[in-house]
Amino acid sequence: MLLFAQQGLSNDEIAVREVVRAETGRQVGTVGYSRAEPGAINVIPGRAEFPVELRDRDAAIIDRMWERIQERFKQTDKEENVETRCTALDDVDPARSDPATETAIRPASLASGGARATARQTAVRAVGLRPTTLP
């Protein structure tokens, strides 16, 4: 049986999207990039890495989403026989930006689908999506 770290990565990216969308509100969750290693065209990826960023004005929402995302990561680990390790990169408490700055950027932000001038940001990197033992 071949094990693909890339499949675990794909499942985890979908989990982030689904957990964030399940919340009511204006929260945001992104996977900024994904990298499968060794990255050769003819090699099955044995390791994958991706950052997850969660943003909202309410720290409790961020914490709740992160707990649910971690539960989904554990589910992927079992289903795909991989191991996900998460390392915190950044954790910033909610803070409003300067009102003048918000006013200045609001038109461009709304035009691009944004409008989130303030947010708590939590970024983690899920690394070590490696196959565990073969059954």
- Structural domain boundaries in the chain: 5-131
Per-residue pLDDT of the chain (135 residues; tens, 9 = 90+): 345 788 888 999 999 999 999 999 888 898 888 888 888 888 888 888 888 888 888 889 999 999 999 999 999 989 888 888 888 887 777 776 777 877 887 787 777 655 443 344 444 554 444 444 444
Q: CA–CA separation, 60 vs 81, rounded Å?
A: 31
- pTM beyond cutoff 0.85: no
CATH architecture of 5-131: 2-Layer Sandwich (3.30)
- Residue 115's pLDDT is 44
Residue 126 is encoded by which pair of tokens? 């899920």
β partners of residue 82: 131
- Residue 112's pLDDT is 64
67: Cβ contacts below 8 Å, ≥ 6 apart: none
Torsion angle of C-alpha atoms 112, 26, 123, 131, degrees rounded to 10? -100
- Residue 91's pLDDT is 76
